[in-house]
């Protein structure tokens, strides 16, 4: 069976799915995490309540899916930025600055620790882990070139970067974000 499901119907499902995610994001921003119900989401998204249950089993699943979509988009943007730079240090710096800018726009929501707060979900999201791994690999490469300290494992440095740059979530000017990136990078340099 090459194609059981054709194109347009798949497209429609994806559109509905995205509408659900967008609606949920708006409702969360308005009523808070605990103030969102399946009924609200269905009504706001202009679909039947039973239909909504055919897409997601509960609010938590929607929030996780939304989070995954956000992080996946960030991951794509970061990959592109990474492939533009040439040296390991240059690429690292570009990726970290982009990550900070992305974190700013999603102040507090698509946060690193979003999934941690919901049911202790060990699958913290593939996408989230991929971002961590990308930064970790960049750090390891930069360390080999002597631009990043070697006395701390790349994995721990990646955790440090991701958390430190999440501080950009506080609505700040672009200049402040560049200062934050500079400070974070300073922590990465080999100790003299």
Partner DNA sequence: ACCGTATCGAGACAACGTGTCTCTGTCAAA
Partner DNA sequence: TTTGACAGAGACACGTTGTCTCGATACGGT
Using the structure block, give the residue that is written with the tokens 């900070």: 100
Considering the rule CB under 7 A, would residue 50 count as an interface residue with DNA? yes
Chain-centre distance of CA 67, in angstroms?
7
Considering the rule CB under 7 A, would residue 30 count as an interface residue with DNA? no
Give per-residue burial for 101-110: e unless 16+ CB within 10 Å, then b.
bbbbebeebb
Considering the rule CB under 8 A, would residue 166 count as an interface residue with a second copy? yes
Considering the rule CB under 8 A, would residue 100 count as an interface residue with a second copy? no
Q: Of these partners, DNA, a second copy, none, which one is at the site of residue 47 (CB under 5 to 8 Å by kind)?
A: DNA
CB of 109 to a second copy, least distance (A): 8
Considering the rule CB under 7 A, would residue 39 count as an interface residue with DNA? yes
The binder of a second copy chosen from 16, 66, 157, 171 (CB under 8 A)? 157
- Contacts with a second copy in 25-54 (CB under 8 A)? 29, 31-35
Burial of 184 (0-12, 13-18, 19+ CB in 10 A): buried
Long-range contacts of 45-52 (CB under 8 A, 24+ apart): 45/16, 45/19, 45/20, 46/19, 47/16, 47/19, 47/20, 51/16, 52/20
Considering the rule CB under 7 A, would residue 47 count as an interface residue with DNA? yes
Rounded CA-CA distance 28/46 in Å is 17
The binder of a second copy chosen from 4, 9, 122, 192 (CB under 8 A)? 192
The binder of DNA chosen from 32, 58, 119, 151 (CB under 7 A)? 58
Tokens of 107: 């102040």
The residues that touch a second copy, with contacts defined as CB under 8 A, are 29, 31-35, 58-60, 107-109, 111, 113-114, 116-120, 149, 151-152, 156-157, 159-160, 162-167, 169-170, 172, 176, 179-180, 182-189, 191-192
């Amino acid at each position: 069976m090459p194609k059981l499901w054709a194109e347009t119907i798949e497209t429609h499902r994806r559109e509905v799915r995205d509408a659900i995610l967008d609606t949920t994001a708006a409702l969360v921003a308005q009523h808070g995490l605990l103030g969102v119900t399946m009924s609200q989401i269905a009504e706001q998204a202009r679909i039947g309540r039973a239909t909504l249950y055919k897409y997601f089993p509960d609010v938590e699943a929607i929030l996780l899916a939304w989070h995954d979509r956000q992080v996946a988009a960030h991951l794509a943007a970061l990959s592109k930025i990474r492939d533009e730079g040439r040296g390991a240090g240059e690429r690292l710096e570009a990726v970290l600055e982009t990550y900070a800018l992305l974190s700013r726009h999603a102040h507090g929501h698509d946060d690193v620790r979003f999934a941690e707060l919901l049911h202790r979900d060990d699958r913290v999201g593939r996408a989230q882990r991929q971002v961590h791994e990308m930064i970790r690999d960049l750090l390891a490469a930069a360390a080999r070139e002597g631009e990043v300290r070697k006395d701390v494992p790349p994995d721990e440095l990646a955790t440090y970067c991701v958390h430190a740059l999440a501080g950009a979530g506080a609505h700040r000017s672009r200049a402040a974000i560049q200062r934050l990136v500079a400070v974070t990078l300073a922590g990465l340099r080999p100790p003299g």
